[in-house]
Chains A and B, each alone.
Chain A
Amino acid sequence: MTALDFTPAPGAAPFPRMVLAQAGAEIRAMLRNGEQLLLTMIIPVLLLAGFSLAPLVDVGGGTRVDFLVPGVLALAVMSTAFTGQAIATGFERRYGVLKRLGATPLSRAGLMLAKTSAVVAVEIIQAAVIVAVGLALGWRPHGSFLSAALLIVLGTAAFSGLGLLMAGTLRAEATLAGANLVYLVLLGAGGVVFPLSKFPQGVRPVLDALPISALTSGLRAVLAHGAALPLGPLAVLAAWAALSLGLVSRTFRWE
């Protein structure tokens, strides 16, 4: 057995190494959790394949798959940045994990950076899977990759803010229930698979102001119609991000 030398030799690891270690642990936790995989991978792919192959919804012009890929990409972002992150962080808070990590040299800023990196890494895997399935189903992408990436970054910021807002203030069980409910409502009412044009005119302004609608319509404008930079959706997402992250910084409880 290796001899253990307990003689004090304190010191923090370099910041990037701490963040990488924590991000790696977060990614493994996300990919290992069955319910999270259902939410982040299986449901988006099933929706994409199912609604592309079967004529269940009238997408109003264009092919079904061209309409669905941007919507499902937005759903994938929401499932990881919002639903998955809210539930995981809520339970980490409840189990004292956030508290315990606070006693290590990893700062809170470092922990948040690690969480964000892990969310982005999982989103890249999701996007790769969705794009591959979409291409196999005959999807023909348009528009600028950078515009789509910018929408996804802002969408991730907005959904992370909303997820952490729940996780940092509510009980873990309430976060679990609430995050799933919000996911379902936004899946139905955010233009993911059902076009927003099918909803009554009266509720459109409300629906258009939702972060999911901004992300679906922005991605659709770029990827289906080749728009350069959809400023309206970008502005809506930026506003949600600023509002939610501002509230998080004020209300988040670590214990």
Chain B
Amino acid sequence: MESPAVEIVDLVKRYGGRTAVDGLTLSAGRGAVTAVLGPNGAGKTSTVEICEGFRKADAGTVRVLGLAPTLPELRPRVGVMLQSGGVPPAMRCAEWLRLVSRFYAHPLDSGALLARLGLADHVRTPYRRLSGGQQQRLSLAAAVVGRPELVFLDEPTAGLDPQARHACWDLVGELRGSGVSVVLTTHHMDEAERLADHVVIIDRGRVVAEGSPASLTGAERQLRFRARPGLALEELLNALPAGSAAKESPAGHYIIEGQVGPELLATVTAWCAAEGVTADDLRIERRTLEDVFLELTGRELR
């Protein structure tokens, strides 16, 4: 059987006394987009940089395309986009991509790739004069120019304007359509929901949940609002139809699940009015990955 694109078991990484990755286990399938979602400092970059062969694990096993991550034979097969930098500041945009392309046997046409990513007008611009978003796109181009089997993208859309973000998302979709395995890190839940076949939510160096975006968020809708902490939810539940559920997580954030419709909405707002409570940010929606993260960790994703 073909090995997964990435297989990580019980990975531990420490920096001095600080544990950045704390027994992390995950698997990224071939030909799929896997999103590693978590807040800053969750251990995303450490994990990815161990997979890229830049750092050594303190414990656990990591296999990339079935091989130890530092093996030289992986270099042509794996494309890498660092979170930042990696390009000489004086190097011109097209010059850098052409240079990187010449390290590979069957590279993409660097001019066409730059055009595809909206950089055609900047081929002669030195890297340091590109905007942050343009620098990101150049790094993305360099990650895919060698036609790799697997691409690691560390926060590929950080600092991008909405248009450039969509260009990046389209490219990731196209990579997936061509059979390239993609592992990306992000702290944008919309990015993970939109791009990923498989989402791994990590916090404090551990996996707290994983699955497809739909399986993580569930199909049911919920009513959510914010109000002062400590409302007497048992009373509210008495007023709601049987089978409803109400919870406060974290303090001041209320979630009502059940037959979410006009009747339930009316009951909740009436109850709040009777209690003298102002319900802020009242909305009906499907759960998002952000909600899942908040519920699992009690903290905001960003």
Contacts and interface: CB of A to CB of B under 8 A. Distances in A.
Interface residues of B, number: 45
Interface stretch (B11-19, B111-119, B242-250): B111-119
A82 to B, nearest CB: 20
Given A6-B175, A12-B105, A22-B99, A100 B87 contact: yes
A107 interface: yes
Interface size class of A (residues with CB under 8 A): 35 or more
Contact of A7 (B54, B113, B147): B147
B40 to A, nearest CB: 19
B99 A21 contact: yes
Given A1-B115, A105-B104, A6 B180 contact: yes
A12 B102 contact: no
Contacts, number: 121
Interface in A144-187: none
Contacts of B78: 103
Contact of A6 (B77, B91, B103, B144): B144
Contact of A95 (B53, B88, B106, B180): B88
A9 B106 contact: yes
Nearest to A95: B85
A17 interface: yes
A104 B54 contact: no
Contact of B72 (A4, A8, A13, A107): A107
Interface in A1-34: 1-13, 17-18, 21-22, 25, 28-29, 32-33
B103 A12 contact: yes
B76 A6 contact: no
A175 to B, nearest CB: 16
B144 A25 contact: no
B91 A8 contact: no
B88 to A, nearest CB: 5
Interface of A: 1-13, 17-18, 21-22, 25, 28-29, 32-33, 91-92, 95-97, 99-100, 102-107, 255
